[in-house]
Amino acid sequence: MADEFTTTVYRDEDADSTYIEDKTVAVLGYGSQGHAHALNLNDSGVDVIVGLREDSSSWPEAESEGLRVETPDVAAAEADIVQMLVPDTIQPAVYEAIADGLEAGDTLQFAHGFNIHYGQIRPPEDVDVTMVAPKSPGHLVRRTYQRGEGVPGLIAVYQDATGDAKEQSLAYAEAIGCTRAGVIETTFQEEVETDLFGEQAVLCGGVTELMKMGYETLVDAGYSPEMAYFECMNEMKLIVDLIYEDGLMGMWNSVSDTAEYGGITRGEYVVDDEYAREGMEQVLEEVQNGEFAREWITENQTNRPSYKQLRAAEEGHEIEDVGGRLRELFAWEEQREEVPADD
């Protein structure tokens, strides 16, 4: 087992702010990530323009925070660095609107590499194409920055037209606070493929299917929906929090010996080394060969028929009704922070 990182972790001392201090940055979008990037950059002394649709509800909010707001085409034309923080699905259309404003030596920057890696956006060869991606929701990017801390992040260089793309990415990462925690260099391909695989096989797909199947197994066996919800969904957060704070062994050390023994000996009954791994390998293959990307692109081009049907089925699952009633019992539900959506 490796005792050290397999890649370099860059910190504040590795970043040179001169690579960004005389630049103008256009942050396109003012959602979860957009507001955090724009405000942190502004507080770091960087000249920032927020790019939004004229009818965007976020326009007055950004202005109230003391930021200059323009339409995306105007913002991009004035900027040296254009950070694309609108949703993946609308990025190609936004790019078409700003493309004429990109000049040789400018930087087109992303926080996720989907549209570059799968060829939905094809920038000119005379601009840098980079990625600076905090590994955290935007509200934490902002909150930790305000505390003098930061969240870990990724940088990647897809196209280095100027020869300064990496240095500028590190300077940007420093300006939003990521180098305070540590920044790892990756590639657009690695970021996209690991991100999509993780979402589908584990974080969003695998975990939700596991919780629903556990719930259904208990209810079908005659146990109350409320008990099934608590055991198979509600307590998931408690376990994940323990793992997040101190790894798998931290979790095992915190639960009872009975839970540890049962989990270690029975977990592979459900997530086995044959069928579950075959399924994960299939998910990864469809990410790597572009099948998932083509399917998702086509889905959006045809007004998302499958997406809408599947989402309706998810919303109609019994676990949502039971969970909605039970969550009303918790005081934290009323105090939960509202997280802005991407805009």
Q: Which of 112, 117, 139, 317 is catalytic?
A: 112
Binding-site residues for substrate? 256
State yes or no: is 112 an active-site residue. Answer: yes
- All residues at 6 or more sequence positions from 165 whose CB lies less than 8 Å from its CB, including other chains: 107, 128, 129, 130, 157, 159
Binding site, by residue number, is 30-33, 53, 56, 58, 138, 195, 199, 231, 235, 256
Q: Which residues line the annotated binding site for Mg(2+)?
A: 195, 199, 231, 235
For residue 339, which phi and psi values (nearest 5 degrees)? -105, 125
Q: Which residues contact 40 (CB under 8 A, 6 or more apart)?
A: 141, 142, 145, 175, 176, 177
Enumerate the active-site residues. Answer: 112
